[in-house]
Amino acid sequence: MGDQYETTDRTTGETSGETTVETTGVPSGGAPGQTSGQTSVGAEGRAALPLDRVSELFFEFLQAVAHPRNQDAAAGRNLAERLKAHLGAGFRDKPVVKAAYPPYDLPNVHLALERWFAAEGRSHELIGMTGATHRGDFTLGEIIESSERYDRFVLGAVDYALLPVSPDAELACVSFGFYLGEEGDERFAVLLRGPADEYGRNKVEIEVLARRKEFADRLLAEIDELVREHNIFRGQVLSFEGSEFGHGLGPFRFHRRPGLSRDDIVLPAGLLERVERQVVGVARRRERLLAAGQHLRRGLLLYGPPGTGKTHTIRYLLSHLPEFTVVLLAGTTIEAIAPACALARMLQPALVVLEDCDLVAESRDFGGGEEPLLFQVLNEMDGLGDDADVAFLLTTNRADLLEPALAQRPGRVDLAVEIPLPDAAGRARLLGLYGAGLGLGKEITDELVVRTEGTTASFTKELVRRAVLLSAEREAERTEPEDFRAAVDELLSDRDRLTRRLLGVRDADGDERDARDQGEDEGEGEQGDSAADTAEDDGYWFAGPRPSASRGPWAAPVPSPRPRPIPPTGPSPGVQGGA
């Protein structure tokens, strides 16, 4: 006969007098570890234990082995008991309401919670939790259940993340913690959970557990209002940073707003005024434009050779719009155009700056790969309403790559302005700007202006810096005209040909050769040079012959005849017979 065991149902707490199926255990009245020696399924005159009950007990046994009771929980650190003490009995049956924010919004959500609890009549206690590395995967309800049934989670330290909130300040933000709050008779718990790039979590979450769902809804709505009203990004100059773990976006980088005046900008007459009217003028007259039924959203494209001052012009515009929130996107970070537009829409008036967008205009490797990135940019521009006070500023060195797409989507860019190479008067002004305080006389200025024809603003800036460096190497007290002559001789020499190209300067015969080659290719039915031809051109350019002394140091190398492929001697493939 089998032995009688007393078993306790963990869910009801009732004791049963059923006969067990086990061969080892603690029989009633026996000693621990005593073996019954019985393997029968029942005893005469008694009902056997149902198989589903056997399954339940065995599952509880496995759970007890897999999740032994935590000693920390026994020492007064039980999270479920702490929540029960604050929320009262039956808290596990209450609704949980959740809200999510972008990963970069953790400082805003943290500060919104602090402001909300600081209101009169509210109080809170902030507690932390420990017990699992991947706790971010558990919802608030799952955390409570795991803590109560398996003692998996216990009270611990609050997690903080140190994040920038301005160019000069950082803030310790709660990245995982429970706010046990009170407002009048209402008791509730708020779980704030920040992003965890290392585990692929790229959002900020708030979960509220309260007796009434209406209270949780109101709390989240007021938090959202505080996030918008006191957003730390408003009026800042920001750029997106990619996550070091490759998941989503990292925190923002804050930049100091430039402080440039008109005297710092050297452009042809009337050009800066056109740019200002499109960006600054619309901002200053927004009320009148709206009253007349005109749209505020606008797009400006600055194009031209590298080094002519497109980015410098953007910096000038930022200086004169201090109330505007600015989001800078360059290179592959242009894939963040969707969150950038969402932020600009929320914090308008705003500027979205897309620098060198031609570099990834045709790429499908970013932003999902379904369509070229430039079309994704245009789609996001479409998503903003006409009354949105948002300006898009695009810069490019290759307007030919952007023009077809922009022409197919008219109205996205309202004004395209070329930033050309500086003329003689512009180069003289640039020398005066970058050489202020060096005592540049009219004679040396005129000489440099003549010798630097066709160069860029970046070239002039490097010329002045190199002249000052040469004078410093001589231990001279001031920079002399000879230093400027030596500097321009270096920069215009054959050995600095690559340096000139990196400063945006293209020698005249290089442009003629590119145009000739492109014409030849188009005559053959091809669209421009292939990648191999481009590489060959560059190799030829850097290895070209030295200029003759009679042509001067600025003269470009004389191009040699470009080798052409030798045609085959036999008949062309696919041709039948002779000519």
Contact between 351 and 393 (Cβ < 8 Å): yes
Q: Are residues 169 and 316 in the same domain?
A: no
Distance from C-alpha of 382 to C-alpha of 376, rounded to nearest angstrom:
10
Residue 514 lies in a domain: no
Residue 204 lies in a domain: yes
Q: Are residues 99 and 215 in the same domain?
A: yes
Q: Which domain CATH number covers 300?
A: 3.40.50.300
Distance from C-alpha of 364 to C-alpha of 415, rounded to nearest angstrom:
27
Say which residues have a Cβ less than 8 Å from residue 187's Cβ, sequence separation at least 6: 86, 87, 88, 180, 181, 210, 211
Angle between helices 442-451 and 481-491 (to 10 degrees): 0
Long-range contacts of 14-19 (CB under 8 A, 24+ apart): 18/46, 18/47, 18/49, 18/53, 19/43, 19/46, 19/47, 19/48, 19/49
Residue 537 lies in a domain: no
Residue 241 lies in a domain: no
Residue with structure tokens 């932390």? 128
| More reliable by pLDDT, 496 or 11 | 496
> How far is residue 430 CA from its own chain's centroid?
35
What pLDDT shows up at residue 225?
Answer: 95
Q: Are residues 114 and 199 in the same domain?
A: yes
Contact between 554 and 494 (Cβ < 8 Å): no
| Chosen domain end from 26, 50, 66 | 66
Q: Are residues 467 and 388 in the same domain?
A: no
CA distances in angstroms from 15 to 6, 11, 12, 25, 475, listed in the order given = 6, 11, 9, 17, 98
Residue 323 lies in a domain: yes
Highest-confidence segment of 31-45, 246-260, 265-279, 326-340 = 265-279
- pTM above 0.75? no
Domain count along the chain: 4
pLDDT digit string, tens, across residues 543-555 = 333 333 333 333 3
Q: Are residues 370 and 479 in the same domain?
A: no
Residue 298 lies in a domain: yes
Q: Are residues 362 and 296 in the same domain?
A: yes
Residue with structure tokens 């255990």? 25
For residue 349, cis peptide bond before it (omega within 30 degrees of 0): yes
| More reliable by pLDDT, 296 or 459 | 459
What pLDDT shows up at residue 94?
Answer: 80
Q: Are residues 16 and 140 in the same domain?
A: no
Say which residues have a Cβ less than 8 Å from residue 53's Cβ, sequence separation at least 6: 18
Residue 2 lies in a domain: yes
| Chosen domain end from 418, 438, 456 | 418
The two tokens of residue 287 are: 């009320």
Q: Which domain CATH number covers 482?
A: 1.10.8.60
Q: Are residues 458 and 492 in the same domain?
A: yes
User: Is residue 532 pLDDT above 60, yes or no?
Assistant: no
The two tokens of residue 32 are: 């621990």
Contact between 515 and 509 (Cβ < 8 Å): no
Q: Write the DSSP symbol of residue 76.
A: I
The HSE-up count of residue 527 (CA atoms within 13 Å, CB side) is 2
Q: Are residues 265 and 382 in the same domain?
A: yes
pLDDT digit string, tens, across residues 303-314 = 998 888 899 999
Q: List the one residue out of 369, 370, 392, 389 whose CA is nearest residue 380.
A: 392
Strands 253-255 and 237-239, bridge-based pairing: antiparallel
Length of the chain: 579
Residue 56 lies in a domain: yes
- Mean pLDDT for 400-419 is 81
- Please give the residue range of the domain that contains residue 225: 74-233
Distance from C-alpha of 123 to C-alpha of 187, rounded to nearest angstrom:
10
The two tokens of residue 417 are: 């302005």
User: Is residue 574 pLDDT above 60, yes or no?
Assistant: no
- Mean pLDDT for 316-339 is 85
Query: What type of residue is 520?
Result: E
End-to-end CA distance of the chain: 110
Say which residues have a Cβ less than 8 Å from residue 408's Cβ, sequence separation at least 6: none
Q: Write the DSSP symbol of residue 99.
A: E
CA distances in angstroms from 415 to 151, 378, 411, listed in the order given = 64, 15, 9
Q: Are residues 81 and 201 in the same domain?
A: yes
Q: Are residues 447 and 401 in the same domain?
A: no
CA distances in angstroms from 163 to 109, 111, 229, 343, 344, listed in the order given = 13, 12, 20, 18, 21
| Chosen domain end from 502, 532, 555 | 502
pLDDT digit string, tens, across residues 361-385 = 555 444 444 556 677 777 777 667 6
Q: Are residues 146 and 278 in the same domain?
A: no
Q: Round the average pLDDT of the chain to a whole number and report it.
A: 75
pLDDT digit string, tens, across residues 185-222 = 899 999 999 887 666 678 899 999 988 899 999 999 99
| More reliable by pLDDT, 118 or 384 | 118
